[in-house]
Structure 1
């Protein structure tokens, strides 16, 4: 199809995907300069350990991490942590609050472990979780931001004394506020807000979580594989390194993004995220062919915006066109939901001006009639 698009509607950067996210390409120039002194260096040597230490220090500042909490880095991404929680933190019973694809995967990971029981408290897709009392649980899970649905669970549940609260913050950490003093395990991967690559996890552990690790590890009959052993993660974290060899480029990109975010401070990052979210949701509310997917305004994500599109519009055809023309990448709805939907990341590196152009571009293309459903 031949469509002439005004230059004023074309975003300066086409990347709006929910992960891996928009990486700052200037960082690659900096990496080239440091490459001979960093890339190809053992992760036990000072250059890489300094990089890990820098990440730990800047995370402690940005996220206001309590001094007695440990910050560890490890290979495998947040998905590995799903298994590590069940294997190394749960004594007998874990309660999972499920509100979408990724929180469901976490529950499934726990359910596969035969020596613990795993309960799921499920909210319908598009709805936030509502905490319930559960005296059996010694670990309760919570998803700060469900990447698949764009539901934000920013109000943490209260847990009983002796129970740990574990929070998956993969697509929310760094941009959605969370009181870490109430959390025992806060984990994420850096390929979302922190504009890095995948394959790495960050886990922030309270003193209670660290004590639980030691308790579970010495429980008779418990199997904890080496790659999922929290004790190794903690000991290596104290030495500013990872247990297994990490991808140094991932660490470098992560460290550079943290510097930028700390320069403006968390309050400014959060405020900017709110402005971007307001732009997208108001656009949807004011449109005659769009509707915010998450009905509860307080639960609408400030990192991942999901917008339902009228059945009169063929979203797949629209997004395929945007990809083919190299105009916009990554705004397809999550495949598991099966909805006629757009899912737009509003992570820190994605400019408000580009989001404005994105909305105007989509309106322009829809108005041509070329993307009407057959």
Structure 2
């Protein structure tokens, strides 16, 4: 018989997934508003206005430097990893790998016959690998936040003149403070901090990155869907090369309005820090739990991972919570750990995080 958690302990909203993440009701309302452009061409002004609004608000949220541009296209981060291979890596790259997602771009690059090689810096899951400036490297790649493990990396530029620094910010962008001037491409998908659906990528690109894109796409054959120069040209027209999910554009735009109204990126970072700190403090206070990321400076404020000893069956705990509408706190599938992974993106309320922790206490202590 499934345990019945007392109703007064349950969070008001039980969505704690690490992506897709919780949407706010105001975002959903935007889809059905009387002026919604759903069902119209993405080449027409109503949709182009939404894209223009997104590009402007992304620029404001991240305080992008002069000369940087906001780009977008269809396909999500998985497509962008292949686009990097064609359009941004010239001949030799270095990549920091410390989890499932930070390794995916490496898989794409190493398959390309025109790339001389990839220098890989590795760390076991739960740690952080860092790039190191080296001779002969034209592109440095790493993740700002490793979604699979809940580890966050500092953001800084590597290499000398002519080298590019590319940062996969899918689960960090919008929930963590960052100085994008330390990057040449800061790219992300919208289904984490922006509370939208997948299938779209966004990127903040430096003048050096834009020049590299133009150079390589003029020298190499590139499939149109992966051609970032076409993405640049279409973004400047406030459109995408291929038809986007207009609903996703509306969700992003509404979220950006809310983020800016709340105080911008620093306010979002404060929200995620409060929620994640509550979970880390809870984990360290229990004898049967511990934060998976052992070094505090590398603990993510947006994806929190907690290990448990053998006295706690996290799969059963998750199943009980799911039966009560509290969902998506399972560990990343390939880690194989007795662990919970909790998304603490800006849309997640601190009160709901605290309620989740109360439920965890009740289940674990009840079963003991």
When normalised by structure 2's length, the TM-score is 0.97
Match of 1:130 in 2: 130
Matches within 5 A, 1:302-341: 302-326=301-325, 328-341=326-339
Offset, 1:216: 1.0
Q: 1:255 aligns with which of 253, 256, 260?
A: 253
Matches within 5 A, 1:11-26: 11-26=11-26
Q: Is the 8 A contact 2:3 2:320 kept in 1?
A: no
Distance 2:225 2:256 in 1: 27
> The residue matched to 1:39 in structure 2 has which SS?
coil
Matched length? 366
Deviations 1:99-124 (A, max 9, x none): 10001111111111111022211111
Q: Can you give the 5+ residue segments of structure 1 that lack an aligned partner in the other structure? A: none
Q: Is the 8 A contact 2:93 2:139 kept in 1?
A: yes
Distance 1:25 1:274 in 2: 23
Deviations 1:167-221 (A, max 9, x none): 00000001112211121111000100000000000011100001111111222xx
Match of 1:90 in 2: 89
Q: Is the 8 A contact 2:150 2:304 kept in 1?
A: yes
Offset, 1:362: 0.6
Q: Is the 8 A contact 2:158 2:164 kept in 1?
A: no
Moved over 3 A (4+): none
Question: Cα RMSD (Å) of the superposition?
Answer: 1.3
Distance 2:55 2:41 in 1: 19
Match of 1:280 in 2: 279
Offset, 1:157: 4.3
Distance 1:159 1:145 in 2: 21
Match of 2:360 in 1: 362
Match of 1:156 in 2: 156
Distance change >3 Å, CA 92–CA 284, structure 1 → 2: same
Match of 1:176 in 2: 176
Distance 2:4 2:118 in 1: 55
Distance 1:201 1:145 in 2: 16
Matches within 5 A, 1:1-374: 1-34=1-34, 37-116=36-115, 117-219=117-219, 222-264=220-262, 265-326=264-325, 328-369=326-367
Q: Is the 8 A contact 1:285 1:291 kept in 2?
A: yes
Q: Is the 8 A contact 1:277 1:302 kept in 2?
A: yes
> The residue matched to 2:102 in structure 1 has which SS?
helix
Distance change >3 Å, CA 145–CA 2, structure 1 → 2: closer
Offset, 1:278: 1.1
